[in-house]
Amino acid sequence: MKTMILFYSRTRKTALIAKTLAHEINADYQEITDLNNRGGALNYLRASVDAFRENKTLIKPKTVDLTDYDLVYLGSPTWAGKPAPAIITLIDQCNFQGKDVVLFATMGNSGGKKVIERMREKIEPRGGRFIKYFLIKTGNKKSEELVEDVKEIVKEEDLTLYGI
């Protein structure tokens, strides 16, 4: 079974989690880049409004060919209780038909479950089969702590069971 991890990361915390996960479960990964400037306080405020309204954004790559993958992990930070606009845009542009999907959300403190619910609502009509999810709190954590959190989740959730 071939596995792909797709993610968006503004602060690099979700990227660290996704890359650690890819290493732990022997998966490919692809970062989704938002072509709109999301840096700085004012742009982050705009980004939160875009997330809340589920506004689309320009992303790179525009879509990801999942043909060769049986299992797809999809990760997003939590913005205003919603997935990041880059992830919403990606979901709408990908074919999840026949794919098993594991969702994950990062969050400062709360709101991740709503992100999971919204991603699931968008993926299932596109043919994806929701398998499970996990949440990782990133607030006030150092990189080493986040890496350990991922390793613990892989172990607790037996995520290697779904890998290659």
Average predicted confidence (pLDDT) for the chain: 94
Instruction: Print the domain residue range for 75.
Output: 3-162
Give me the pLDDT at residue 164, please: 45
Strands 100-107, 71-79: pairing is: parallel
Average pLDDT over residues 74-85: 96
pLDDT tens track for 103-118: 999 999 889 999 999 9
pLDDT tens track for 124-150: 999 999 999 999 999 999 999 999 999
Q: What is the DSSP string of 89-141?
A: HHHHHS--TT-EEEEEEEESSS-HHHHHHHHHHHHGGGT-EEEEEEEEE-TT-
When divided into structural domains, the chain yields a total of 1
CATH of residue 128: 3.40.50.360
Give me the pLDDT at residue 163, please: 57
Confidence of residue 162 (pLDDT cuts 50, 70, 90): low
| pTM of structure | 0.93
Average pLDDT over residues 52-56: 89
Between CA 99 and CA 9 the distance in angstroms is 23
